[in-house]
Amino acid sequence: MAEKVLSPITANVWKVLVKEGDRVSEGTTIVILESMKMEIPVDSPVNGVVKKLYVSEGGSVGEGEPIADIE
């Protein structure tokens, strides 16, 4: 079952550091969000493979919206 990574804050997607199919470890930063000129790294909560990315660089995401699925 996939673990859904959710946005902790409403922000712009500044940088996406992984792509679908990448293997990640727990604690690996998968995206960096930007809000009020602050960078907010979002880390993988589990070891696994990025199955789906819901965001892209330059886009935006609301608080609680999905960023990625990791299986």
Q: Average the pLDDT over 17-39 and give the result.
A: 97
Strand partners, 41: 32
- Verdict on whether the full-model pTM lies above 0.95: no
> What tokens appear for 46 in the block?
């589990």
Q: Average the pLDDT over 8-24 and give the result.
A: 98
Share of the chain above pLDDT 70, in %: 100
pLDDT at 1: 78
* Mean of per-residue pLDDT scores for the chain: 97
Q: The domain that contains 33 carries what CATH number?
A: 2.40.50.100
For residue 27, what are the domain limits? 3-70
* CA atoms in the 13 A half-sphere facing the CB of 6: 6
Q: Average the pLDDT over 19-48 and give the result.
A: 97
Number of separate domains in the chain: 1
pLDDT beyond 90 at 2: no
* CA atoms in the 13 A half-sphere facing the CB of 11: 25
